[in-house]
Chains A and B, each alone.
Chain A
Amino acid sequence: MRKFFAVVKREYIQRVRTKFFVVATILGPLMMAAFTIVPALMFGIKAGGPTRIAIVDQTGKMYDRVARELTGDRSAPNNAPTQNPNQPPQLTGTPKERLNQGGNSIQGNFAVEEVRLGGRSLAEVRRELDARVTRKDLDGYIILPPNLLKDEQPEFSARNTADVFTQSRIENSISRAVRSQRLVENGIDEKRVEKMSEPVSLKTTGAGGKESKGESSFYLVFGLGLLIYMSVLLYGQFVLGAVIEEKETRIAEILFSSMRSFPLMMGKLIGVSFVALTQLGIWAMAFLGISVWAAGSSIAIPHISPVLFLYFVLYFLMGYFIYATVYAVVGSMVTTTQEGGQLALPVVLMLVAGFYLSFSIIRSPNSSLAFWASMFPFFAPITMLVRIVTETPPLWQILLSLAIEVATVVGLMWVASRIYRVGMLMTGKKASIPEVWRWVRQA
């Protein structure tokens, strides 16, 4: 038993002291953030100033409405002056509208101007506008055809036609403007139109009454799934590397002459698991700290209950021990790191499959697919955790999956210790599957 602790201690201290551990501990959360938050922000942020748009209104009556919709200025229903492109968007109206304007300005607001035909032909005006776009005086222009109200298509020309967000906002703005105009022309009072067009905002609550923020809970599920996936992969690889090192350098021979192979393998697995727990612990403390710090501000930090944290640690450990044990077997079968990488590939794919399954499970956490995926021991560490976060399954399902996990871990370790004992001393070539099978039966 003391020798077992010596192995655990060595694995732990040698790994925690490395630069890699320190760097990974610091960069880990930043990378997680990069994976989850940054893409969302990147889509939202539009660099540069307002998008400058010219509008050629051939209907002669739609410009005001479209301009109002585009600039988000709804407070002045009638004859609002055209906003001066050189002035910042005015923050007026109710707090909600202000919020919308804020949102708009994140997405990039519009500066609009009207261009009248003034006797020139449309083609002539088009040429002039094209020239201005080329000179970068303008980002794009909209042509509202005379029969816009009778489903003639408006036209949008722009330098950057790949910006789907701008396009869809323009489309929506023109649609809304056309709708209100049609209503007004059909004798419905402008004020009533305003009132009736008031958009609905969806309030999301978890069943049972507790209020949850749909979006942040999605990020939470995604983040936790990703965290388990990445940690299991990383620390599984550590075990693989450690086993191959001992086999390659023949340290195994001295180790086996001093202690039995089973406590040696377990010492290795448990030592590395402590390293992982240390890292996760540091992250948990940091997260807690940020939560407390952010409590007063408006930043939405997803709430993680102690029970959820417990489940997370449990399922992480299960996933780790399943995959790390398989990695230990792989390491004892091969002779070089490269061979190890190849043989470990199917193992990695299992983990990836579990991670991708979680996307479908987030959408329907109670489907039979979700049930079976969370009972399969190689997927459960990710899939069951996803189910717990999205729509907590009945306790018996959680306990059943944990029981299956534990049984799998014990079974794998039993098999692994037999393969490990023989494999570690075999040199020269990679072991074949029939050979390995013989070791398991004989040993």
Chain B
Amino acid sequence: MEEIKPTLVLEHVTKRFGGFTAVSDLSLQVRPGRVFGLIGPNGAGKTTTIRMIVNITAPDSGRIELFGQQMNTALQDRIGYLPEERGLYKKMKVGEQLRFFAELKDLRGPEADKRVDDWLKRLELSAWKDKRTKELSKGMQQKVQFITAVIHDPDLVILDEPFSGLDPVNVDLMKETILEQKAARKTIILSTHQMEIAEKLCDDVCMINRAHKVLDGRLREIRRSFSRNAVALQFAGGDGLLNDSSLVANVRQHDEGFEVLMAPGANPQALLKRLVDSGAVVTKFELVEPTLHDIFIEKVREAA
């Protein structure tokens, strides 16, 4: 693999609140220029982990290293953060608001003004620059909030549930923007409990459940390793073939056809050959990789 230093390293990080352990012995690495998915159900410890990464709270034990340095306040300016709980000053005008948050990230002067204008244009909000924030719709406010996370051109962008509350058009716009950031060699941490979104956008994922890491790695490799030899099938004729237990372990029938889990050691090609030989008309034959959702459920069951 690339000999590139990771953007972010967490080593054995633990955080407790009173008797409750929110994050337990978490270690992970985020590599530059990639979209890193931090996934898990609500209450798993995602937000607490992120708060430690952006230096809002400090871990009780363990180490956080960002851009090769021990975590410190100066590094905060190189992070952009879109928290799950959105917050903007309701009475401030959109332009002034963005200007203020830029200043909080040490970006000021004409450069700040220019970036405010550019971003408003990019997210189709230019007409709202002098409106008070409370006059904007929820979706628009969310886009404004997103701008506050990226306006200072941070090297690490952390997005906590960036798609919640957006309509389909804006979901696409947001995805596009995130991929642009990736293309600009920014590192992105995407926290979400929506596995389908993570599946489409992430290069690497880390799953956490009940404060513990259950899995991490490259998404593609994870899926391959979890491949359970499943096939999605659509065919007509060839009755009784799927009852052969030496080939098939389990069959689920649904509207679109069958989902077939092969018997251990059985080759899907052998099944296809048998189908064709029997004269069945095969309209769909697809090797299925498990979804993140399936993997997650399996991992959680394993741990229980």
Contact = CB atoms under 8 A, between A and B. Distances in A.
A258 interface: yes
Interface in B57-97: 57, 73, 76-77, 79, 81, 83, 85-92
A256 B104 contact: no
A385 to B, nearest CB: 34
B148 interface: yes
B90 to A, nearest CB: 7
Interface centre among A3, A252, A427 (most CB of B within 10 A): A3
Interface string B87-115: 11111100000001101111010000000
Given A2-B103, A3-B106, A259-B104, A250 B76 contact: no
B81 A10 contact: no
A250 B86 contact: yes
B54 interface: yes
A164 interface: no
A434 to B, nearest CB: 12
B297 interface: no
Nearest to B17: A426
Contact of A256 (B56, B79, B88): B56
Interface in A194-231: none
Contacts of B234: none
Which applies to chain A's interface (DSSP): helix, strand, loop or mixed? helix
A255 B56 CA distance: 9
B76 A257 contact: yes
A251 interface: yes
Nearest to A252: B87
Contact of A254 (B73, B83, B103): B83
A253 B103 contact: no
B83 A253 contact: yes
Contacts of A131: none
Contact of A3 (B86, B87, B89, B104): B104
Nearest to B97: A10
B56 A10 contact: no
A11 to B, nearest CB: 10
A260 interface: yes
A92 to B, nearest CB: 65
Interface of A: 2-3, 6-7, 10, 14, 245-246, 249-260, 425, 427
Q: Top 4 A-B pairs ranked by shortest CB distance? A: A250-B87, A251-B87, A250-B85, A6-B103
25 contacts: A6-B104, A10-B100, A14-B91, A14-B92, A245-B90, A250-B85, A250-B86, A251-B89, A253-B51, A253-B85, A253-B87, A254-B81, A254-B83, A254-B87, A254-B101, A256-B56, A257-B54, A257-B55, A257-B83, A258-B76, A258-B101, A258-B104, A259-B76, A260-B73, A425-B51
